[in-house]
Structure 1
Amino acid sequence: MGVLARRRPLLHSRGRYDNLEEIRSLDPEVDYDRITWITSRLEFPWDYVQGTGIAFLRDYGVPSISRLLDRTREFEDHGIKRYDDTLLIGEEAGIEGIDSPRAHAAVRRLNRIHGHYDIPNDEFAFVLATTIVGPVRWIDAYGWRPLDPHETAAIAKVTTRFGELMGIRGLPTTYDGYLELLTSYERRHFEHDPANTRVTEASIAIARALAPLPARSLVRRVTIALMDEPLRVALGMPEQPAWFVRAVRAGLRLRARLLRLAPPRREAYHHRPSTYPQGYRLGDLGPASMLDELNQKEIAR
């Protein structure tokens, strides 16, 4: 407790570190579902979503991935539904724990969607790696506190189990393993291709459509400012002025300092999909062109 207290900033709201104390009392080898839920839904909900969003852009730096996404036109033609469905499948997999029937049903749904395409194991593994490295990097840079080792260990456990349920082979079991997988894969495969740029622009258009009206004109520039240089080049995005990049990142760091003064979140964050204002069922998730087939398979199961 003394070490934890010494690491706290002097100014913070009452109870701000209660969740962290609970996390440190848990065993990430056993309590990984609970720890990951606290981290992603109570401590850093906005950061986790933003980190995941930037992480998905890394997928587009690999031409074989972006060409497939470009061919499907899901981002261009059904972008907001695609965005909502991605977040909702992730949420379905976490609400009751990664090995709950609810989570297994969500991953089974995802596998059936992916089964329509010829995707190699190494691409699946890379995409999975982005989903853990992206949020961790974002929180390390812009979170209101650093992640605890218990958190990264728990998130890695959940990530690996999710990948196993997807049938991905040869996965790491630690965050450092996922970081190495991601960085080595990018060194070998990052390369500019026109499809990279098209899918990136389509994704930015989704973010712009979902952003508050006053912020929409800045969404593209801010998104590019948050990219590292190898990613920006691979995606074919224009370089932003250095002063603008510094301002965006300084603004996010200021937000983090202010959040230390905010009371802790008491209710878990849940994605509110604009696609389904009256609520959704698992059978609603997936490309519209596949829904009948996907649901028939689920009935026949």
Structure 2
Amino acid sequence: MLLVKDTDSAPRGRRGWLRRIEQLDPEADCQEIHRITAGYEFPWDYQRSLELALFRTYCVPTISGLLRETGEFEKRPQKRYDDTALLMAELLEHGYDSPRGRESLRTVNRMHGKYDIDNADMLYVLCTFIYDPLDWIDRYGWRPLHPHERLACFHFYRQVGIRMGIREIPEDFQVLHRFKMDFEREHFHYTDDNHAIGVYTRDLFCAWFPRPLRPAVKVGVNAMLDPMMLSAFGFRAAPAWVTSVGQGALRGRARLVRRLPPRRRSKAARDPRNRTYPGYPVGYRPGDLGADRDSGCPRR
């Protein structure tokens, strides 16, 4: 499958990419559609929503317990974040069956293969990559998602999950969504491991800002978490006015973005917050990433 490439002749008009999406099949062309959605139309929204999606998975005690046991979040939270973000970006930018995509999946499977991870936990994490960004864009996106985009996201990550060896992935969008909702109701509850991993992650987000702003960022992060997450982490809810201001700012941003011209270059693999691998992908391969590559430097 040929994926859309960066071009100086992007579709005309703010709805140009959407017109292209309408012409594609959400299953057969899921990689191309999802790259347009996440790389051209909503790159900022996808980065923020996937940050919260990963945060959500730490509300599951078996997941947070394993992460705390490895010590990765305590010792190298930025590297753990960068590894995950870049490996997912490789799949999105190049496709899961491309040479770099296959290498990325081997890296993911290499890291996961060192631990005894329950299949249901793996399936749940996959769910968050599908549904959390869709929910975010429904609330804060500059335009509504097309049904093709929703289904393409599902089919894209379903194929990723199959290549990761995740079993019993439903073939239906709604069935998998019900699994996610039921899983959260059953498994989200407070543990000390949840709290510790939640604090490490929130501190990481705060570290991206100047020190005087970090107390406000901490409250802002809490404002983005739903009641189930706050309870599972043992975090204090933000004041209602903070939540309202934050949501208003995000909706204001959407109105501004709506007026911008269509993006001509994909931003899927261009994250300025990548601090572990400066210059990536220049001089690096997907196989250089991962928790067992402690130096953050490429192999020669």
Which of the numbers 129, 135, 159 marks the counterpart of 1:161? 159
CA RMSD of aligned residues (A): 1.9
Tell whether 2:271 aligns with 1:271: yes
Alignment-mate amino acid for residue 283 of structure 1 = G
* Structure 1 residue 45 displacement after superposition: 0.4
- The whole-number CA distance in structure 2 between the counterparts of 1:161 and 1:215 is 41
- Listed one character per residue, the Cα deviations across residues 244-292 of structure 1 (whole Å, up to 9, x for unaligned) are 111111111111111111122111102342211143222320114678x
Alignment-mate amino acid for residue 55 of structure 2 = L
Alignment-mate amino acid for residue 53 of structure 1 = E
* Structure 1 residue 64 displacement after superposition: 1.1
- The whole-number CA distance in structure 2 between the counterparts of 1:96 and 1:214 is 39
Say which SS state the counterpart of residue 150 (structure 2) adopts. Answer: helix
| Match in the other structure for 2:84 | 86
**Higher percent of residues as helix:** 1
- The whole-number CA distance in structure 1 between the counterparts of 2:179 and 2:209 is 32
2:111/2:292 contact within 8 Å kept: no
Tell whether 2:246 aligns with 1:248: yes
Which of the numbers 236, 239, 247 marks the counterpart of 2:237? 239
| Match in the other structure for 1:203 | 201
* Structure 1 residue 110 displacement after superposition: 0.5
Name which of structure 1's ranges 119-128 and 96-105 shifts more when overlaid on structure 2: 96-105
| Match in the other structure for 1:173 | 171
- The structure-2 alpha-carbon separation of the partners of 1:44 and 1:174, relative to structure 1 and needing over 3 Å to count, comes to farther
**Deviation beyond 3 Å, 4+ runs, structure 1:** 211-217, 288-291
- The structure-2 alpha-carbon separation of the partners of 1:38 and 1:289, relative to structure 1 and needing over 3 Å to count, comes to closer
1:37/1:94 contact within 8 Å kept: yes
* Structure 1 residue 140 displacement after superposition: 0.6
- The whole-number CA distance in structure 2 between the counterparts of 1:249 and 1:278 is 33
- The whole-number CA distance in structure 1 between the counterparts of 2:255 and 2:212 is 24
Alignment-mate amino acid for residue 199 of structure 2 = E
Figure out how many residues of one structure are paired with residues of the other and give that number.
Answer: 280
- The whole-number CA distance in structure 2 between the counterparts of 1:193 and 1:242 is 25
- The structure-2 alpha-carbon separation of the partners of 1:214 and 1:40, relative to structure 1 and needing over 3 Å to count, comes to farther
| Match in the other structure for 1:115 | 113
Q: TM-score, normalised by structure 2?
A: 0.88
1:39/1:151 contact within 8 Å kept: yes
Say which SS state the counterpart of residue 95 (structure 1) adopts. Answer: helix
Say which SS state the counterpart of residue 94 (structure 2) adopts. Answer: coil
- The structure-2 alpha-carbon separation of the partners of 1:256 and 1:96, relative to structure 1 and needing over 3 Å to count, comes to same
Identity of aligned residues (%): 41
1:15/1:264 contact within 8 Å kept: yes
1:156/1:173 contact within 8 Å kept: no
- The structure-2 alpha-carbon separation of the partners of 1:212 and 1:26, relative to structure 1 and needing over 3 Å to count, comes to farther
Say which SS state the counterpart of residue 34 (structure 2) adopts. Answer: helix
Name which of structure 1's ranges 14-23 and 184-193 shifts more when overlaid on structure 2: 14-23
| Match in the other structure for 1:258 | 256
Tell whether 2:118 aligns with 1:125: no
Tell whether 2:286 aligns with 1:282: yes
- The whole-number CA distance in structure 2 between the counterparts of 1:167 and 1:251 is 40
* Structure 1 residue 188 displacement after superposition: 0.9
2:103/2:287 contact within 8 Å kept: no
- The whole-number CA distance in structure 1 between the counterparts of 2:169 and 2:202 is 30
1:153/1:174 contact within 8 Å kept: no
- The structure-2 alpha-carbon separation of the partners of 1:215 and 1:140, relative to structure 1 and needing over 3 Å to count, comes to farther
Aligned residue runs from structure 1 range 16-55, under 5 A: 16-55=14-53
Alignment-mate amino acid for residue 101 of structure 2 = A
* Structure 1 residue 151 displacement after superposition: 0.3
1:43/1:264 contact within 8 Å kept: yes
Alignment-mate amino acid for residue 95 of structure 2 = G
Tell whether 2:225 aligns with 1:227: yes
- The whole-number CA distance in structure 2 between the counterparts of 1:211 and 1:157 is 36
- The whole-number CA distance in structure 2 between the counterparts of 1:256 and 1:26 is 25
- The whole-number CA distance in structure 2 between the counterparts of 1:122 and 1:195 is 19
Say which SS state the counterpart of residue 113 (structure 1) adopts. Answer: helix
1:133/1:178 contact within 8 Å kept: no
Tell whether 2:61 aligns with 1:57: no
